[in-house]
Amino acid sequence: MTSNLRIQPDKNDHILGPLHAPVVVVEYGDYECPYSAAAAPAIDQIIQELKPHICFVYRHFPMRTIHPMSYYAAQAAEAADRQGLFWKMHRALYSRSENLSEDIIHQIAEDIGLNMNLFHQDIKREDIKEKIDFSILTGVQSEVSSTPSIFINDLQYEGSSSYYPLRETIESYLAGGNSAYL
């Protein structure tokens, strides 16, 4: 059964593209989830190919009971965001998702060029935890129960998160909502 996105994206989310785009894709992901990691390159490719016609929004949904490092990885992404490197950290975490540990996450932070003193301070910040917790809450309100959970123009996408099915679905939204795209 398809659910609706309950909390609309805004400037506090992690956004690629204009929020007023004809198609807005919201993903709830978990950096330790193999399915989220598998979807990440397909989503990146679709974003590159279809911009500026789509907006992509990423929200954290760490599933700590099965992915013990997922919350810490989300904290690391938020700490990187404070230095303007969220998307770089986001992609790096997904590229190493199969064996995340605190040491590997810290190595990733160093590799992408973060100021490590700030990173170590920021990763513990209460406002970062609050932002992640709010993201989880918005997912729960939208009936998210697994990752990746993808919403396209407020409706939960039930298909495969691999490249061709996802792109085809997004293109069908573009065709219906923006004939200038075709």
Q: Where are the domains of the chain?
A: 14-181
Please tell me the predicted confidence (pLDDT) of residue 1: 54
- What confidence score (pLDDT) does residue 179 get? 33
Return the pLDDT at 44. 97
Task: Please state which of the ranges 49-58, 79-88, 94-103, 170-179 shows the lowest mean pLDDT.
Answer: 170-179
Cβ(174)–Cβ(22) under 8 Å? yes
Can you give the pTM of this predicted structure? Answer: 0.94
Bridge partner list, 55: 24
- pLDDT value for 3: 83
Superfamily (CATH H level) for 14-181: Glutaredoxin (3.40.30.10)
